[in-house]
A and B are shown apart, each in its own frame.
Chain A
């Protein structure tokens, strides 16, 4: 499903930073992988590359059998829209749109019929147990609820891949655990390939596979 071959990423700012240094990684369909490592070790960079938010400096990334390097910007966007769901640490909801509208955003972007969008968005919110908050603005929700809206949005197209960058990083322990349970639950029910970047060793332990990054390289890849 996801295959990285000698992938490096280098930022050429004032000082050159090697954020990833020839990383090889294979993730099969339906796997649930946690990615851990100290701050600055390249976890987010790795996830962004897999999600097509950024392109590698060298190396090859294949998503679902397609070489990302060969895709145009718009093709990459379509791949992202249809195949990948993102969950961010800071939710990244649009403050001016209601929950339903936020969830419906990717569906609108694809240009689906209005009726279908509406019912799908509502279904998704039900799925994340937010059926009662449909028409609220993000500002009116708690952190956990916002993250659930973000998850519902990520699931809009039932994507085969779900990427979460520290999804609990901005939540208290209790809510964090809830969100994690939700992700696990979704993984089980939808059968998506899920990658979770986390600081939390508890989160990591709950995943069948854990990849450890250190100094831009993979320092460990453990299955349990």
Chain B
């Protein structure tokens, strides 16, 4: 398109800084989207990749959530004619203790049968070759590692590797090394293979396996195999292809993903405003040029195409830059996200490689271009409408027509009315979202009008403060609402977002702290892993009396937390002595009678649900809950709903006796320990460590440590969503710089006159700075008020769809108070370059008539 090169390119070159800033808005939005999504995808991919490689030829896997399967299940599975091979597996992750190596994924198998499902491709290397290392695996201290891991750590056959087990640190002997590739590439190469019966002992699995991997007989389909196994085992088991584990992990990640996607889209939306702003300005500035083109015979379509073409190019450049930045960002974010997921969900992660999804990347690129073109559509249309004769005359085009203003206000009023109607209609989810969108639309429609009114209101005080600079600054805003309104709107939106996020963060933190205060009241916690969420190690039931008999201890509550499939989602089953819990913890009741729910659940006749699960699954008092168990499924009524934040997808509380009976699993993840009155927590800890510690792996945590850990994790989680806040502020600053740059080039002549008749540099600078400060102040007033509304809707959305957790509405005054200096400071910083340009430009040129 010749017009683009002839007409647009010189304009872009002349306004290079502004053009860069314009595309930067899109670039940031795309970068955030690509960065966060790619990091999440990489974590998920790496998880799936590991699952895939470890699954070998297994077509189905039999498991029962975290509870594991008993040994006799293996025989029943093997007996099915549809099954050609069945191999039990225990899988867990351990700290290697080797510098820079992090975790190792340990896969424990039964060497006699496992070869039928997995390929063990051994690497002879230079050492004494062992004929069949699998044979040596029968020795309980044998470990097979990968070539990659061996090379990285200088290990060879016969080397010793030690890691923590339930029996304290244990030494293992490397008895074989897997060739690189295939299974050996799982978990980034940090894979160790050991004997399953040894693993039962060292990882506290009792006489249970984590799952059974299955190969089907010739000609048996996955569906037929699943049906046959269901018949053979009865209900209560999950029978799924290996990919099902990926799906489960994905549903854990979903909450996080939703939060991330919403905020990336929000910043893209703000970027859209910047594009709109720039193009609206460009059209007014290039009016004469458009007029000449039209006079020379350009059609309206050509003019529109010219501007849309420009926006497409801007979008493409912006998204390409955003893509690059996003991928760089993803690189540093992948590890962080992986660790966060591991800490929160207890699923071991070793995501290092960034995996690229070409389709998503192309989509993001296209999204950037489309968003840019949508943003430029209205300016392009108004450019096409320029009448050549008018355009060649001098005049003011920056003023919004009175009619336009009225139409906007009507539209805004309609949006508000519809939004309120949606709110009133309430419960239905799409309506709530529609209400949110309508309210945002109303705010955007009203922004120009309100910013004009605010500018008028500012005129008096500013003129009193600095007569000349003040009125110059404010008049510039009043006279050119088009120039400022989009920036103010973008600023308003991003500040509203920050307030919304801040309010949500604050409310989440407050409610979690309230819950921590009431629920996490034991003096000590004993866990098998440093990370409370991880269930890789477990204590045997035999440890319970050993703990209870210690003199410092008044009471202890063994807890088993197991993730089970409930209505297709991995929810947490919390098995605990309900009688003791009812006595010790005053829980926050959402529905039901506290005495009754304690009594019935302690008697094993009912379960108690966490509020979020009840909300998400629409369960209430008296509803039946069906939990798959190896004994064929458990059906119990809901006796109560309590506030609980221990799991994002929700928890079901159940008496320990019932759990042991149904799952045949008496292991313990965590002891909640109450000390006798007068015993210092440190003293209690000393007794426990001395009484039991030397023999087993164990962490005794003080109440304070656990609280700090939980609240720290909460902060970390909220911190991830805080990234977009930074981006929002950055985008807003871009908008201000953009507007000021334009404002100054628009008013070159005016500022020139001012200097010609005696305006000192400081005075000119003052005028530009005041203008920036005024934009910032107007944006702040609008944004902080709009934030109050956005916060309300965000809390609604979170309650309904994401967490199921009602959060208190508290306006984050602290956040608002910090934003004021940040935004005003950013506005002034944004004014530095434009102000210097205004002061240093040639006076003669400024005064020249174009």
Contacts and interface: CB of A to CB of B under 8 A. Distances in A.
Interface of A: 48, 51, 53-54, 73-74, 77-78, 80-82, 86, 88-90, 92-97, 101, 105-106, 108-110, 114, 153-154, 156
Contact of A54 (B468, B750, B842): B842
A183 B843 CA distance: 25
B843 A94 contact: no
16 contacts: A74-B760, A77-B761, A80-B757, A82-B758, A86-B756, A88-B847, A90-B849, A92-B847, A95-B479, A96-B472, A96-B476, A96-B479, A101-B471, A106-B758, A108-B467, A109-B759
B4 interface: no
Interface string B454-493: 0000000000000110011001101100000000000000
Nearest to A85: B757
A48 B757 contact: no
B468 A108 contact: yes
Nearest to B396: A95
A77 B760 contact: yes
A86 B471 CA distance: 23
A40 B2 CA distance: 34
Interface of B: 396, 467-468, 471-472, 475-476, 478-479, 749-750, 752-761, 763, 842-844, 847, 849
B468 A77 contact: no
Contacts of B475: 96-97
A53 B754 contact: no
Given A88-B847, A96-B479, A81 B761 contact: no
Contacts of B752: 92
Nearest to B753: A92
Contacts of B478: 96
A26 B478 CA distance: 47
Contacts of B467: 108, 114
Contacts of A73: 761
A109 B468 contact: yes
Looking at B755, B756, B758, B763, which has the most chain A CB atoms within 10 Å of its CB?
B758
Q: Is the interface of B mostly helix, strand, loop or mixed?
A: helix
Contacts of B763: 109
Contacts of B849: 89-90
A88 B753 CA distance: 10
A105 B757 contact: yes
Contacts of B843: 48, 53-54
Contact of A81 (B472, B758, B847): B758
A217 B749 CA distance: 29
A210 B77 CA distance: 116
Contact of B468 (A53, A80, A82, A105): A105
B758 to A, nearest CB: 3
A128 B842 CA distance: 31
A119 to B, nearest CB: 16
A54 B844 CA distance: 7
B758 A77 contact: yes
Contacts of A81: 757-758
Contacts of B471: 96-97, 101
A90 B850 CA distance: 11
Given A89-B849, A108-B468, A80 B754 contact: no
A108 B466 CA distance: 10
Contact of B844 (A48, A89, A108): A48
Nearest to B849: A90
B563 to A, nearest CB: 67
Nearest to B476: A96
A105 B754 contact: yes
B232 to A, nearest CB: 87
3 closest Cβ pairs, A-B complex = A81-B758, A96-B475, A92-B753
Contacts of A53: 756, 843-844, 847
A105 B467 CA distance: 10
Contacts of B753: 92-94
B758 A94 contact: no
Nearest to B474: A96
Contacts of B476: 96
A74 B757 contact: no
B339 to A, nearest CB: 56
A80 B758 contact: yes
A78 B760 CA distance: 8
A51 B844 CA distance: 11
A77 B755 CA distance: 7
A48 B758 CA distance: 14
A96 B473 CA distance: 11
Given A54-B842, A54-B843, A97-B471, A92 B761 contact: no
A153 to B, nearest CB: 6
A41 to B, nearest CB: 16
A48 B475 CA distance: 28
Contacts of A92: 749, 752-753, 756, 847
B758 A110 contact: yes
A167 B539 CA distance: 98
B756 A109 contact: no
A178 B842 CA distance: 32
A154 B757 CA distance: 8
A67 to B, nearest CB: 19
Contacts of A80: 756-758
A153 B752 CA distance: 15
A74 B761 CA distance: 7
Nearest to A45: B844
Contacts of B479: 95-96
Given A96-B476, A105-B468, A109-B757, 18 more contacts: A53-B756, A78-B760, A80-B756, A80-B757, A80-B758, A82-B758, A86-B757, A88-B847, A90-B849, A92-B753, A92-B847, A93-B753, A94-B750, A96-B478, A105-B757, A106-B758, A110-B758, A114-B467
